[in-house]
A and B are shown apart, each in its own frame.
Chain A
């Protein structure tokens, strides 16, 4: 495995050197990662990357710097893989940042320059960042009747108290020894995770509880995917009732534009949306606890209504209502009834009634 990754990187280098020796303008072919090159596979419910590619040339003023950055990142990753060490993408940025020659120009000025180059390399070589020994920032926490093996340590997610198990950025080497649950509940907010954990929701309802803390990190998405593949348990996602929350769900379910090349590895197409929905607001009497949607919320909702993976009547209706009513609501709004309302009434009722959005 490691060998073939190293070979892929070396192959890229050899190809470029050959182009240079042949007197050609050296270039790297990079699949385009933008909405225009994203396809939605309706059958599998997955975003996939189309076959449009762009060529990144060295001898092109507009490309030269990025070409340089690409070669820097590639040779850095080769060293990581070769030596069997891992680095975070922030560490990678610091390792590669320096001034070029005697000039005041830096190889990279911000991490926001090196991050996309890393993804470029992933899509070009068709390997995952994790395989390049680069780790994304982590966020995400898990609890439940699950026993895992992580680099030789056996960990029981049910015995980690109020904090839960912190999901690492790289879950490739995590093995599930035992999973005892009827479903997997993914929640957007740490506060909601803490509430459900304190109320022993996962114990009472026999589920695996995962908090994403906003948009799910790569490691968390990969963990949900792997856990589903291992157990085939139903996956329910619980977010705020706003465009941002809905998008978090869609990324967990179908993948993201940026990671479309790796949807197969990261997405969980069978996931269902549990709430909050616009209908919940009325049904549970939360009207007074909604927030006025901002212009950018409405704009985002309208954009999402055009995405191919939101083309079904339930989501069109949901987003349409949001645009029409110009409101949004947080998960915590349920606490307006009483603190344990979410764990004792709302979630059990939704699950019992199978009141989900696809």
Chain B
């Protein structure tokens, strides 16, 4: 992998950008996943874990992530997340985490886990706002020195404030970030951290994730594949796939000085000619303005104009599915199902040009499904670009597609109470969410269709599996019946015919049973 050859210094020098959007975060916290104590907790874990996975994958390291949640008091926690990635060079530490928009993937647009906005830095912002306690970063590039930095950020100046930076000798590579948060709650259940980690592990079977829960419980999800997924190719965003917020965010991060140039450089399929067409439709926007000055209303006008202009469809190069084989291994490792089936559909297109791809896994029996005491019920794991979606299940196209399937056809009589886990991953560089919360997929016709096809494909595979097993069982039962009767029949026939001994007849009959166990259904069987 190309990235492997880069040194840490080169890597960060190339990717690092600065910008000033601290205020943007403050105003939009609720949209970025910081609404309510349970959701805020899951969002923090999400941002740190995603960051850690990316840090490893970008440099070709098999991710080993350790998540630790400790409770200090009521709604008062310390969260630590450690990765085994490249580590951060000492000189970059203040800038990297102290300044908004400093993420290494923010100015790019790929099929990323993120799409949630401003990533780990947002979580740090949240720590600052709720506790005011500095965060601690422990990092090493693996060259024998481990650096610990205690730091804070000045929101108004958008500048880091380092309290302390110390180094010790030691052989380790990676980064650990420790921060304190209030107004969050650790909760078991479908929207809690445990479930989030379990699902992340399911969709990222190349990663080993360890979770230390507040009660001292340790859960380890070991990797089930030994190969890193190929990195999605970088792609500029397509104008049809962005919201006004996105445009503003990109504008803030842009180095361009003119709005028109920003549009050309930051989006795919926008040429100077297209900018003119956009300008014609957004008459009240000055296209020579500084993109950083773009207001929300202006961004909205531009997005409206995007909808009216014809663009060439985005390229499908950016899509990287998990793959059927990998999903299979993952299901086997985590759910240990008796039966399973997986389907990765070919890429398709929605809204006239945005590529996406659907992957479905069905796991049946074993540890699949959700158990409540003696009862089991079905379980649905939704993913967007491998990221678990744990909120807003009701409004999500994935849930609706699953509910629209006649599961009885696939030998699953009572779906709601079946020991089944359904995993659905939607892959796209432009996932269409229903709202800024980015937890529910909108039910575009093409996406609904693909979801249904994928689920039905997987259902059919599962059905043939299940009926195969039933057939084998039936055959064994039949064999047992014949074998039980053979001695009696042989004895009667020996007496009746006087032409063969009981032993002889038994021998022939048993031979018949054996040969037929191999052969398929005997034609004679159908008569009568």
Contacts and interface: CB of A to CB of B under 8 A. Distances in A.
Interface of A: 9-10, 12-14, 16-17, 20-21, 23, 25, 27, 54-65, 67-68, 71-72, 74-75, 78-79, 100-101, 103, 105, 107
Interface string B476-501: 01100110110111001101111110
Contact of B500 (A21, A101, A103): A21
A65 B485 contact: yes
Contacts of A75: 492-493, 495-496
A61 B481 contact: yes
Contacts of A68: 485, 488-489, 492
30 contacts: A12-B496, A13-B493, A13-B495, A16-B493, A16-B497, A17-B493, A17-B500, A20-B493, A55-B524, A57-B525, A58-B485, A59-B512, A59-B513, A59-B522, A60-B525, A60-B528, A61-B481, A64-B481, A68-B488, A68-B492, A71-B492, A71-B493, A72-B492, A74-B492, A74-B496, A75-B496, A78-B496, A100-B485, A101-B487, A101-B488
B498 A59 contact: no
Contacts of B513: 59
A56 B489 CA distance: 14
A40 to B, nearest CB: 26
Q: Which of B484, B493, B495, B498 is the most central at the interface, judged by chain A CB atoms within 10 Å of its CB?
A: B493
Contacts of A61: 477-478, 481
A128 to B, nearest CB: 19
Contacts, number: 102
A25 B515 CA distance: 12
B264 to A, nearest CB: 75
Contacts of B489: 58, 67-68, 71
A21 B501 CA distance: 12
DSSP majority for the B interface?
A: helix
Contacts of B495: 13, 75, 78-79
Interface residues of B, number: 30
Contacts of B470: none
A114 B495 CA distance: 19
B505 interface: yes
A14 B528 contact: no
A59 B505 contact: no
Contacts of A23: 508, 511-512, 515
B178 interface: no
A68 B509 CA distance: 13
A10 B522 contact: no
A14 B500 CA distance: 9
Contacts of B527: 55, 57
Residue among B485, B496, B498, B524 with max Cβ neighbours from chain A (10 Å): B496
A163 B513 CA distance: 59
B15 interface: no
A25 B522 contact: yes
Nearest to B526: A60
B382 to A, nearest CB: 45
A355 to B, nearest CB: 49
B238 to A, nearest CB: 61
B485 A20 contact: no
A13 B496 contact: yes
B27 to A, nearest CB: 73
A17 B487 contact: no
A55 B522 CA distance: 14
Nearest to A96: B492
Contacts of A16: 493, 496-497
Given A23-B511, A59-B513, A59-B525, A64 B485 contact: yes
A77 B279 CA distance: 104
B516 interface: yes
Nearest to B474: A61
